[in-house]
Amino acid sequence: SKYTDLLKSKMSEASFNKLAALENQKVMDFVGQFADHCNPATIYVCDDSKEDEQYIREQAVAKGEEFVLARDNQTIHWDGPSDQARDKVNTRYLVYKENLERMKSLNSVEYNEGLEEIMSIAKNNMAGKDVVVKFFCEGPAFSKFTMPCVQFTDSWYVAHSETILYRPAYEHFKAMKDEEKDEFFRFIHSAGELDERGCCVNIDKRRIYMDTQNNIVYSMNAQYAGNTVGLKKHSMRLAINKGGQEGWLCEHMFVMACVNEEKGRKTYFTGAYPSACGKTSTAMIPGEQIVGDDIAYFRNMDGEFRAVNVEQGIFGIIKDVNEKDDPVIFENLNKNQEVIYSNVLRAEDNLPYWLGSGLDTPKKGDNFSGKDWYEGKKDAKGNEIKCAHGNARYTMRLDYLDNFDKAGYEDTNGVLVEGVLYGGRDSDTTVPVEESASWEEGILLKACTLESETTSATLGAEGVRTPSPMANMDFLSYPLGEYTLNNINFVKDLKEVPKVFSTNYFLRTKDGDFCTSKLAKKVWVHWAEGRVQGEYDAIATPTGKIPVYEDLKDLFKKYLDEDYTREEYTYQFTFRCSKWIEKLERSKVYFKKMDEFCPEIVFAKWDNFIKKISDAKAKYGDEILPGKF
């Protein structure tokens, strides 16, 4: 390689040998190009060994990006006060001129212009720093699902996070056949200059630029994991695009198994939920099993709908994780095992505290706002700074959890998916659970129309609905209309097509209270499980099929020991015609706005549903009680 001398000057012999042993020109050129351009002091190349993982952990602490906490193997990392969430404004696609028109509703920049900008920011951005190169993969290694990835970063916190969150793949790279050697994702990341707390200084030059045409993502002057961890949201955008071209899907979904002990069966579901709509809590319903909590790949494997969890760990929101609401995670955070906390409070006892922990929270300590947080501290705008950020996180391996489905997770063929859930949040439109009449109706009526509703916890007006098709808009890397059709067409050669369900855990009574408790999701999922297995009758509505009262009554008794009344059922499962028509009209407006080239067929199908609902309204009235349609 033309970079051999340069690389040898920045690497130990052992590191260079690890790189050379891959016999992969594209890897060599990638590492060489950025070794030259970003100009780090040294480069450490990792294989899959425990020694290299340990070296990363130690360096994250030695370099001041993480601090050791009281419990064994637990550390804390802070992102700077302005680096606490995904930066949607500065996250852009680099798009060739000829594709700009097609991509215009997705945040894009002309290829050469964007590349020039990002490369000028990247120039010497690693000066004086030590870089780590590590190989990972999405999904299990050595399988049809495997997406190999290489991460080049000057942040040992980012590398440490990835060591927890993703499967190692140095050996996979080593075994790649010549014809596969070009097929991997490349992530180049630099936190750049750091302050004394290990936080990124040059936030004004934060940019995340994605080149889906060449499968490379550039992330500069950022540290928050959603902006930096290449294998998470960056890779997701590359995979959505690649899947779209190759006929598979990358979805923003959990994978879980609903366990029916009595019948001795296990049914796999995947689920997409916009944030704050119950995704994690559904993936972790007590008594069921979890395969993954955030990202799934779907493939048609010999006519079967199979899915893998792309990840190995959880980068979870820690707010409201407490003994009562989230016992499994809470228990694991309290053990002496590896966890990286980010943006929580470190108090004098050297333990972490966060919002909604249920613990007595000390009144001072270090937090994301600085070293000297105290209760009542205000920011520059005069707003009170809470003990921890609302988006503070924990990073932890999934296999710590007792309810982890190890066999399903490890299966190189993925798990057989029999049900897909789309969970929105609205107070007055959709029923708690509904099955779609078909896959296509599921995509059009459940997935594309997903919305979440603002709550008192978010700034601004309450009850405002935000469209969130497939809960995937932030990561969509090609136009929404095409993506919708790819979702519809994905099942066309399958022997068995999963059933699609919507859920809504947030329907409210006339008095404004939630209709059901947080635990009721177990009932809705078990009803879906029964339907998948050919049990339970269902009642038709204009948008699908709902449960009959008696089955829910039994399920509530069995799983929650609750008496579910017919009055509750009737209210919750009433079909609200005008509300549904408004919902579909909102979806039409949103699709038009987000993709002016969205195929007419999508709108035509929605118009058919609107007509069907209007006819029903004329015949049965605006609110149709269960069984009256």
Q: Residues 37-76 vs ligand OXD: string with x where CB under 6 A?
A: ----------------------------------------
Closer residue to ligand OXD (CB): 433 or 471: 471
Nearest CA-CA partner of 225 in 200, 250, 248: 200
Nearest CA-CA partner of 254 in 441, 420, 438: 420
Closer residue to Mn ion (CB): 42 or 107: 107
Beta carbons within 8 Å of 546's beta carbon, 6+ residues apart: 431, 433, 434, 435, 538, 539, 573, 626
Burial class from Cβ neighbours inside 10 Å (0-12, 13-18, 19+) for residue 215 reads: buried
**Residue sitting closest to Mn ion (CB):** 294
Least separation in angstroms between CB 85 and ligand OXD: 8
How many other C-beta atoms can be found within 10 angstroms of the C-beta atom of residue 584? 19
Interacting span for Mn ion (CB under 5 A) from 185-193, 293-301, 427-435, 489-497: 293-301
Tokens found for residue 10: 């920045």
Using CB under 6 A as the binding criterion, the count of chain residues that bind ligand OXD stands at 4
Closer residue to Mn ion (CB): 153 or 391: 391
Closer residue to ligand OXD (CB): 317 or 523: 317
Closer residue to Mn ion (CB): 53 or 294: 294
Closer residue to ligand OXD (CB): 135 or 315: 315
Instruction: Read off the amino acid at residue 201.
Output: V
**Residue sitting closest to ligand OXD (CB):** 294
Least separation in angstroms between CB 102 and ligand OXD: 25
Residue 79 makes contact with ligand OXD by CB under 6 A? no
Distance CA 626, CA 541 (A): 8
Cα–Cα distances (Å) from 513 to 53, 543, 607, in that order, read 49, 25, 33
Nearest CA-CA partner of 594 in 102, 211, 109: 102
Least separation in angstroms between CB 312 and ligand OXD: 15
Phi-psi region of 259 (alpha: psi -120 to 50; beta: other; left: phi over 0): beta
Q: Residues 292-321 vs ligand OXD: string with x where CB under 6 A?
A: --x--------------------x------
Q: Residues 224-243 vs ligand OXD: string with x where CB under 6 A?
A: --x-----------------
Distance CA 625, CA 569 (A): 10
Tokens found for residue 414: 């993925």
Least separation in angstroms between CB 228 and Mn ion: 15
> Which are the catalytic amino acids?
277
Q: Residues 176-215 vs ligand OXD: string with x where CB under 6 A?
A: ----------------------------------------
Using CB under 5 A as the binding criterion, the count of chain residues that bind Mn ion stands at 1
Closer residue to ligand OXD (CB): 415 or 473: 473
Least separation in angstroms between CB 294 and Mn ion: 4
Least separation in angstroms between CB 108 and ligand OXD: 20
Distance CA 590, CA 507 (A): 23
Least separation in angstroms between CB 393 and Mn ion: 11
Do the beta carbons of residue 119 and residue 94 sit within 8 Å?
no
Beta carbons within 8 Å of 279's beta carbon, 6+ residues apart: 254, 271, 272, 273, 293, 294, 423, 471
DSSP string, 526-569: HHHHHHHTT-S-EEEETTEEEE-HHHHHHHIIIII-----HHHH
Which of 53, 87, 138, 294 is close enough to bind Mn ion by CB under 5 A? 294
Q: What is the largest CA-CA distance in the chain?
A: 80
Binding-site ranges for Mn ion (CB under 5 A)? 294
Task: List interacting residues with ligand OXD (CB under 6 A).
Answer: 86, 226, 294, 315
